[in-house]
Amino acid sequence: MRRILFCLIASCLLFASSDLHAQKRKKTSSGRVVKSSKKPAAKKKAAQSRARSRMPSTVAAVSGVGDFDRVNNLYGSRKELSQTVQHPEFLQSLDAFINSCIAQRVFPGCQIFAAKDGEIIYWKNFGHFTYDRSVPVTDSTLYDIASVTKVAATTLAVMKLYEEGKISLDAYLRKYLPFTEGTDKASLTVKDLLLHQAGLKAFIPFYKNTINKETGAPRTDLYRTYTDKIFALPVAPNFYLRASYLDTIWQEILNSPLENRGRYVYSDLDFYFLERIVESVAGMGLEQYVNEHFYKPLGLKFTMYNPWKKGWEPYCVPTENDDYFRFQLVKGYVHDPGTAMSGGVAGHAGIFSNARDVGIILQMLLNGGQYRDHVFFKKETVQLFTGYRSNISRRAFGFDKPDKASGDGGPASVRCSKTAFGHQGFTGTCAWADPETGITFVFLSNRVYPSAENSLINRLSVRSKAQTFIYQALGY
């Protein structure tokens, strides 16, 4: 009896050992060997403890954050179906769904990009620049990614400067922006700006004060059809704003009431301040900083502010046929009025890109801050910024997240894990990275053409449904 019991115990131990070994190294369906995303419990707890020790004292413990223990570079061909796609019929359903959206005039065209563990499993262009179907969407088409700029530019810069010890998340605004001294904005913290809970107003339509209330036309004292030293801010082709009006914009921000203290209110104003912090600390403009520290090292060719300056206007899809501010079709110039009045560069909007370039940024973050032979961040920095960081919202530092509640994806697909992070954009865009599954998803469209009043993309939940098709095709 003792001998039988001994054999049973030995067999159980052998099975457990084999199972642990299998978890440490497992093959994907394509035959490649990758590290498992699962860690032994003791190592995982130790890693989380190290991450906590680097956090500001007022930040909540790690939650909804990935391990970032896999490093992949984008690869794969669109000509052959990836072996990781378990249910290709869902990709066919995605194609049909997007074509039906175009037929319903949700948007005239779009780009969709998805990768799994670095392998591109879906990358397609749909439709045209406009509904006249004269110019098709291609790989080199650029979209105004709107608020995805917040994570594709500003948040990356804040992360880098934080890691270098140049920005403290607990610091007050007055430390980096002395011009806030004497206002109620001076005591706002960096982390509250990143979380959209600093108390700022949701929105200020700066352009409205530049429109003549009697005629409905742009004020002639503020705009010219030519540029010079005084009218130096290009808002649209042959449409220049008086450069000194930037001071008026900032005075309006500083004078605006803190009407949302203690609440989560999504606001572009938070990122007006974050842009200025980056520029003050880095000693250079945000555009130059992200180009030098991220876009060039990542090899991004289609990601930029103000593409019209670089001759890329023909590759840009038009956004809105503006009949209230610029009174012309907006193409190659940023759609967001506040960014346009700032010369096209801002912390909350302004970046143009294509789906693959945005996918590379996401893959770098999924890799824990690495891409090819370049290290952009420590893994702990990515963990800090991409986990749930608020007790009153689903937000991470700069990034959006799925809703915390089980079975609720919030702005993302319900099939995303809670480790996912990303952002949506007003023009009809989104970008999501999911550390637990290794999936990146990018959706770019110009749903604001010809009018931003078109809200079908939200009413039909197009972006989250498209993402769900990707997850279903991969077996999630």
Residue 79 is predicted with a pLDDT of 85
Q: Is the pLDDT of residue 286 over 90?
A: yes
Residue 196 within a domain: yes
Cis? peptide before 450, omega within 30° of 0: yes
Residue 304 within a domain: yes
Residue 270 is predicted with a pLDDT of 98
Residue 63 is predicted with a pLDDT of 75
Residue 30 within a domain: no
Query: Whole-model pTM?
Result: 0.88
Residue 239 within a domain: yes
Distance of CA 96 to the CA centre of its chain: 26
Greater pLDDT, 50 or 405: 405
Q: Is the pLDDT of residue 8 over 80?
A: no
Amino acid making up residue 426: F
Residue 38 is predicted with a pLDDT of 37
pLDDT (tens digit, 9 = 90+) per residue, 312-337? 999 999 999 999 999 999 999 999 99
Q: Which helix (H) or strand (E) holds 100?
A: helix 89-103
Domain, as residue range, for 95: 40-473
Lowest mean pLDDT among 48-52, 64-68, 99-103, 179-183: 48-52
- What percentage of the chain exceeds 90 in pLDDT? 86
Q: Is the pLDDT of residue 352 over 70?
A: yes
pLDDT (tens digit, 9 = 90+) per residue, 207-242? 999 999 999 999 999 999 999 999 999 999 999 999
pLDDT (tens digit, 9 = 90+) per residue, 424-442? 999 999 999 999 999 999 9
Residue 1 within a domain: no
Residue 78 is predicted with a pLDDT of 87
Residue 24 within a domain: no
Q: Is the pLDDT of residue 84 over 60?
A: yes
Using alpha carbons, list the distances in angstroms from residue 262 to 29, 196, 198, 258. Answer: 48, 10, 7, 10
Residue 454 is predicted with a pLDDT of 98
User: CATH number, domain at 48?
Assistant: 3.40.710.10
Average pLDDT, the chain: 90
Q: Is the pLDDT of residue 53 over 70?
A: no
For helices 155-163 and 269-282, what crossing angle results, to 10°? 40
pLDDT (tens digit, 9 = 90+) per residue, 144-194? 999 999 999 999 999 999 999 999 999 999 999 999 999 999 999 999 999
Residue 458 within a domain: yes
Euclidean distance between CA atoms 368 and 365, whole angstroms? 5
Measured over the CA atoms of residue 414, residue 347, residue 62 and residue 432, the dihedral's sign is: positive
**What is the domain count for the chain?**
1
pLDDT (tens digit, 9 = 90+) per residue, 181-214? 999 999 999 999 999 999 999 999 999 999 999 9
Q: Which helix (H) or strand (E) holds 190?
A: helix 190-194
Residue 69 is predicted with a pLDDT of 93
> Helix (H, G, I), strand (E, B), or coil: what is residue 112?
strand
Token pair of 81 as six digits: 């179906």
* Confidence bin at 47 (pLDDT 50/70/90): very low
Contact 164, 337 (CB under 8 A): no
Exposure string of 80-93, with b = 16+ CB inside 10 Å and e = fewer, is eebebbeeeebbeb
pLDDT (tens digit, 9 = 90+) per residue, 99-144? 999 999 999 999 999 999 999 999 999 999 999 999 999 999 999 9
pLDDT (tens digit, 9 = 90+) per residue, 239-255? 999 999 999 999 999 99
Token pair of 245 as six digits: 């009006």
Residue 389 is predicted with a pLDDT of 97
Residue 452 within a domain: yes
Q: Give the length of the chain.
A: 476
